Structure 1
Amino acid sequence: MDTRSSSNAALVLFSGGQDSATCLAWALSRYERVETIGFDYGQRHDVELTARQNVRAALLDAFPAWANRLGEDRLVDLSGYGALAESALTADMEIVMTEAGLPSTFVPGRNLVFLTVAAALAYRRGVDVLVGGMCQTDYSGYPDCREDTIQTQAKALGLGLDRPTRVETPLMHLDKAQTWALADELGGDALVDLIVEHSHTCYRGERGQRHDWGYGCDDCPACDLRKKGWTQWREGAAAS
């Protein structure tokens, strides 16, 4: 345990999906020490827990210059929380739009819980910066993905820990096409191919069908966003 504060270290909230994989590469390109934290909250698409390790291993193999920067990984059991915050991501429910105007995949307060737990680990590890893939541009309507929500939570964490806590959200104002472009900017074809092959986004946990943009059911909202972003980015790249 090292509680000494370091401005050269970051803790990435890392699910193993496209967004968090891009954020991990972004953090590795900027910070001297990068650690990761993931959460098992009883998600139906728990294949992402395997994807987390596959993405980390592939990054080390493809980008040896980052190897000495990538530190510890923690997986935290939040299954009790997931059971309380039941949704189509944690129970056998249909993915629909609810009467509240939110998709049934909304897990109440998920990012707030994740940030709180991550901040506790960061405090013990002497890390001042949390990095998350939250985005309010191309998203499913989740209120805990909005910039106001995240930065208000960062302020609350700083007050509660009596130490400044910064939450970096490099994807906050990017659409999915721009997220693919950022991955290309950070690591070229090697990083894009790695994210396509190893990251997981599909809410249904489908890994049997491989598309140009990766694995998935090609039907759920997460697959739809990922596919549309890929197509827009590739068409834009071809036209330029």
Structure 2
Amino acid sequence: MSVLIAKTAGECEQWTDVTVVVDVLRTSTTLCALLARGKKTVLGFDKAEDVTAFTSRHADFEVYSEQKLSVSHEDDSPYAASRASGRTPALVLSNEGMKALFAAKNASTVLVGGFCNFYTLADVLANMDKDVLLVPASLYGTADSVEDGFCVSALKDCVQGIGNPEDAIVEFNNTMRCVEFLKQGPKNAEKDAKIAFKVDDLKVVPQVSFSDQGYAVCYPYGTQAPEAWLVTKPAEQPADVPAQTPVSATQETVSAPKPAENTKSGLKSFFSGILNTVKEEKRELEQEIANSFGESKVDNAPAPAEDLLDAALKKTPARAAASSESSAQTPAQQQPAAKAAAADVEPISGQQAVPSAEVTFSGKSAVFGGKAKKKAIVLFSGGLDSTTCLYWALAHGYECEALTVSYGQRHDREVLAAQMIARNLGIKHHMITLNLPWLSCCSLVDKNQVLPDVALEDIPKEGIPSTYVPGRNLMFLSIAGSLLDAIHADTIIAGPNAIDFSGYPDCTPAFFKAAADALNRGTKMGVTEGIEVLAPLMRMSKTDIVRLAAKLKVPFELTWSCYAGGKKPCGHCDSCKLRAKGFAEAGVHDTSLD
């Protein structure tokens, strides 16, 4: 599952997977507040004339509108919505928010969110098996609504296991938009902001379906869409809609907060108060999110006989001939073989997707039609993790080219493994050699140094070991970015792991996010179209990686993980011990030991 941020309105209109519309200060929070009050019927409109016509037939609806109307209405105000009766049907008319929702009609699922349901929404998205497009409603208005952009960026980071909404709120607090909204905004601006920026206070995720009568129907995600409103003709009233009931004092449980002072210090105090109210909740919820990312959905069931990658592993006579001749072919001559390999592997649909704890670091805008070009550079060492990433990429429909970097490591077994696996798959394989004498400070390069032999349970406590190669992943990603630019790919896939690893600083989500940001600023593809850096294994344990590899039919006997080299794995280095632990806990036989 990839999480992307829309950069143009057209991307939202042509997206076909999951869309999340974010209109922080208005529609998103208003809809969340109305559903949180227990309303059974909440409709959305994007045209004032449609509201006028509808209310002439349905006078019992409460109306919340950002536009001027001839009918009686409240402002599109989260505060007003938070005081509504749960029994009365409601409709919402807005500018940017509803325009964005109606533009998302082609999406398979349309959700609504903001800071008010931040963690609840993030949890829903983390369990999605389809790609997600986050749409700031400001795309359909003015760029001044920076709060929507802050929110979608924070939400994307949260789903990836990094960042938090509080930082985004602080950023908004320091903008002129904040000052202007509180001073010159609607009459309930301060009260609206109190609700809109209280993180995850409204634990409901609105889902939207579209009626053939021209309005949107909103209901809580995970519940049935109210079919009566989706198919009812305008002249008819669904039988289950109750009559309007006055709001009693006991129903109005949300009291009005005191207005903040209209001074700079008053504004700082206003948002500081919001932040203080969520500090304790944030710590608990961050731990819950982190725990959920550490869980794998891969089970122990054996892979089906008709595995999607069987064709890639069973070399046909034509494939065998191509493999034997690959060393003598030019890159242009090898390209048809690579395309044939990609054609042999059927892309997995959302229903069939092989589970992983994929983390996406992206500057990529959505691609028209809801489908990416899906051409990837896979950083490929020939080890278990990178081989699993290569098979994962093929299974997900990527056209792959593998990149292996030889940097003077004390053995060439991994490089030989990479060459053999790439040849068997018919994948174009780029081999790069670096000669950097200062890397001899590392025991993985200098044969005169002794490799660490640490007890398995002590590996996480040892800090950064002598096997750390200075700047290795930074160099690899830079080279991959250069290759990506040259061949017009749009994705880099790598196999870092932040669960069962030796403490390398360049295997963390924070590092990969920073590297992805740099690549999106420093490459032609990055600044013109946006690129992704995918880390499918980042949040998986070694046990889960082995289970995923078994499902993908990875040829374990061809992979090499040992730091020492030799004919057989040494069994004493960190890599051998972590690999053995993974296979043992997964209950899978490691054929590389046969």
Q: Is the 8 A contact 1:13 1:132 kept in 2?
A: yes
The one of 550, 556, 560 aligned to 1:200: 560
> What CA distance in whole angstroms lies between the structure 1 residues aligned with 2:477 and 2:536?
15
> What CA distance in whole angstroms lies between the structure 1 residues aligned with 2:580 and 2:570?
11
> What CA distance in whole angstroms lies between the structure 2 residues aligned with 1:73 and 1:118?
12
* 1:78 CA drift (Å): 1.1
The residue identity in structure 2 corresponding to 1:101 is: G
Report whether the alignment pairs 1:39 with 2:39.
no
> Aligned ranges for residues 134-153 of structure 1 at < 5 Å?
134-153=496-515
Partner residue, 2:139: none
Q: Give the fraction of aligned pairs with identical amino acids, expressed as a percent.
A: 36
Q: Is the 8 A contact 2:378 2:492 kept in 1?
A: yes
The one of 88, 107, 112 aligned to 2:443: 88
The residue identity in structure 1 corresponding to 2:585 is: Q
> What CA distance in whole angstroms lies between the structure 1 residues aligned with 2:466 and 2:385?
21
The residue identity in structure 2 corresponding to 1:198 is: L
Partner residue, 2:472: 110
Q: Deviations over 1:26-51 (max 9, x none)?
A: 01111341100000100013211111
The residue identity in structure 2 corresponding to 1:206 is: G
> Aligned ranges for residues 134-213 of structure 1 at < 5 Å?
134-162=496-524, 163=526, 164-187=530-553, 191=554, 194-195=555-556, 197-207=557-567, 209=568
| CA distance 1:31–1:84, shift in 2 (3 Å) | farther
The residue identity in structure 2 corresponding to 1:90 is: V
The residue identity in structure 1 corresponding to 2:587 is: R
Q: Is the 8 A contact 2:402 2:422 kept in 1?
A: no
The residue identity in structure 1 corresponding to 2:501 is: Y
Partner residue, 1:75: 431
Moved more, 149-158 or 162-171: 162-171
Partner residue, 1:212: none
The residue identity in structure 2 corresponding to 1:33 is: E
* 1:206 CA drift (Å): 2.5
Partner residue, 1:217: 570
The residue identity in structure 1 corresponding to 2:511 is: T
> What CA distance in whole angstroms lies between the structure 2 residues aligned with 1:184 and 1:224?
19
> What CA distance in whole angstroms lies between the structure 1 residues aligned with 2:397 and 2:584?
31
Q: Is the 8 A contact 1:134 1:171 kept in 2?
A: yes
* 1:144 CA drift (Å): 0.2
* 1:151 CA drift (Å): 1.4
Q: Is the 8 A contact 1:45 1:202 kept in 2?
A: no
> What CA distance in whole angstroms lies between the structure 1 residues aligned with 2:396 and 2:489?
14
Q: Is the 8 A contact 1:85 1:107 kept in 2?
A: yes
Q: Is the 8 A contact 2:422 2:429 kept in 1?
A: no
Tell me the TM-score normalised to structure 2 length. 0.33
> What CA distance in whole angstroms lies between the structure 2 residues aligned with 1:198 and 1:185?
16
Q: Deviations over 1:165-220 (max 9, x none)?
A: 21100010111110011112223xxx3xx12x11100000132x3xxxxxx00111
The one of 489, 493, 501 aligned to 1:131: 493
> What CA distance in whole angstroms lies between the structure 2 residues aligned with 1:185 and 1:227?
18
Runs of 4+ in 1 over 4 A off after TM superposition: none
> What CA distance in whole angstroms lies between the structure 2 residues aligned with 1:57 and 1:74?
12
- Cα RMSD (Å): 2.1
> What CA distance in whole angstroms lies between the structure 1 residues aligned with 2:423 and 2:432?
19
The one of 27, 52, 72 aligned to 2:418: 52
* 1:85 CA drift (Å): 2.5
User: Secondary structure, in 3 states, of the residue corresponding to 1:153?
Assistant: helix
Name which one, 1 or 2, has greater alpha-carbon Rg: 2
The residue identity in structure 2 corresponding to 1:109 is: G
* 1:7 CA drift (Å): 2.5
Bigger relative CO (Cα 8 Å, ≥ 6 apart) = 1
Q: Is the 8 A contact 1:155 1:165 kept in 2?
A: no
Partner residue, 2:481: 119
Structure 2 residues not aligned, in runs of 5+: 1-330, 333-366, 455-461, 589-594
| CA distance 1:220–1:32, shift in 2 (3 Å) | closer
> What CA distance in whole angstroms lies between the structure 2 residues aligned with 1:218 and 1:85?
24
Partner residue, 2:57: none
> What CA distance in whole angstroms lies between the structure 2 residues aligned with 1:217 and 1:107?
20
User: Secondary structure, in 3 states, of the residue corresponding to 1:75?
Assistant: strand
* 1:8 CA drift (Å): 1.6
Q: Deviations over 1:46-92 (max 9, x none)?
A: 2111111122234x3xxxxxx5xx3x210111122xx2223001102
* 1:139 CA drift (Å): 0.4
